[in-house]
Structure 1
Amino acid sequence: MTITVLIADDEELVRAGFRVLVNSAPDLDVVGEARTGEEAVALARAEQPDVILMDVQMPVLNGIEATRNLLAGPTPAQVRVLILTTFDLDEYAFEGLRAGASGFLLKDTPPEELISAIRVLAAGESLLTPRVTRRLIEEYTAGPAATPQPRKLPGITARELEILRLVARGLSNAEIAEQLFLSIGTVKIHVSRLLAKLDARDRTQLVIAAYEAGLGSLT
């Protein structure tokens, strides 16, 4: 199946470079380009791409607000947002994750890594390394989204709880499978059930849910 991609960046040369790169992959297809966050929201709702490459600093509506506009509210768009940032672990990247983005990359990421990241997000996973997970939890606890009351996890099995703990540590499905001596397919099933039971869009939200339940380890 072809993965459809929307590119949102206010610089024409940047959009052109991403367009050529994305369209060079046989399973990826650029279905639109946006110069502002407002255009990104409108195009995303019209074209319903699988993944958006979202720049942070754009006119009219920045990438963070555009992400929040798309993914929050009563009718969130079914799209994965990849925040593109200039500086590693900057405040904008984490604000984007809190707005619902599924991950972020530096703009100077090697081409093959960007292509891989698009495929990862389209498959329903997120780009969260243990270091990023640690910073995400730290940023979350320092902001207004922090929850004072512990979150309950009704209906979560012992195995799902075990996997949720590892997701909260930033482990991938393959790493979880290796640690628990399970197949990757089995781990994917458990993660899918966790997403459904916790009403979470992706692994980023699972990390936050784990933290709210007191499971998010920073070590």
Structure 2
Amino acid sequence: MYLEIELNHKVIAEASSGEEFLKLQNIAEAEVILMDINMGAINGLEATQLILREFHHLKIIAVTFDIQNSFLRRIIESGFKGFVNKTDVYKMLNSTLEDVYNGK
């Protein structure tokens, strides 16, 4: 609701796990994807690596509590185009979405 009502973005799909995300039929249509890192058997890092093998044009933003340098390096290496710390999500999400959408 926050994305659609407050930030005026259209949500085309939601997934509650990495497995569910990988099964989405319309994922290639996404302009920007928000990916929680902490999920079930297939976490956000793995799901991103897997989906980018087929759809390397996707712009994916990591959403995480962990902002240690070593973990941020893993986010970049996994193919994410940006990240938002969960504690700052309401403050930083809109600008991060715009930056990633615009290729920054």
Please indicate, yes or no, whether the TM-score normalized by the shorter chain is above 0.5.
Answer: yes
Post-superposition offset of 1:60 = 2.6
Distance 1:56 1:90 in 2: 15
In the other structure, the counterpart of 2:26 is: 46
Identity of counterpart residues, as a percentage?
26
Post-superposition offset of 1:58 = 0.7
Post-superposition offset of 1:93 = 3.4
Distance 1:123 1:99 in 2: 20
Post-superposition offset of 1:94 = 2.5
Superimposed CA distance per residue, residues 19-51 of structure 1 (whole angstroms, 9 cap, x where no aligned partner)? x2211223x1111111111211222x5232111
Rg bigger for which structure?
Answer: 1
2:98 to 101, 119, 129: 119
1:123 alignment partner AA: N
SS of 1:59's equivalent in the other structure is coil
8 A Cα contact 2:84 2:92, kept in partner = no
Where structure 1 has 5 or more consecutive residues not aligned to the other structure, the ranges are 1-19, 126-219
SS of 1:96's equivalent in the other structure is helix
Post-superposition offset of 1:88 = 2.0
Superimposed CA distance per residue, residues 155-196 of structure 1 (whole angstroms, 9 cap, x where no aligned partner)? xxxxxxxxxxxxxxxxxxxxxxxxxxxxxxxxxxxxxxxxxx
RMSD across aligned C-alpha pairs, in angstroms?
1.8
Relative contact order, higher structure (CA 8 A, sep 6+): 2
TM-score (norm 2): 0.83
Post-superposition offset of 1:112 = 4.0
Where structure 2 has 5 or more consecutive residues not aligned to the other structure, the ranges are none
Post-superposition offset of 1:114 = 0.4
8 A Cα contact 1:86 1:107, kept in partner = yes
1:23 aligns with 2:1: no
Superimposed CA distance per residue, residues 131-152 of structure 1 (whole angstroms, 9 cap, x where no aligned partner)? xxxxxxxxxxxxxxxxxxxxxx
Distance 1:117 1:34 in 2: 20
Distance 2:83 2:55 in 1: 20
8 A Cα contact 2:83 2:96, kept in partner = no
Change (3 A) 1:66 1:60: same
Change (3 A) 1:29 1:112: farther
1:107 aligns with 2:86: yes
Change (3 A) 1:36 1:102: same
Alignment: residue pair count: 102
TM-score (norm 1): 0.43
Bigger mean CA deviation after superposition, 111-120 or 86-95: 86-95
In the other structure, the counterpart of 1:98 is: 77
Distance 2:74 2:14 in 1: 23
Which runs of 4 or more aligned residues in structure 1 lie more than 3 Å from their structure 2 counterparts after TM superposition? 90-93
8 A Cα contact 1:85 1:105, kept in partner = yes
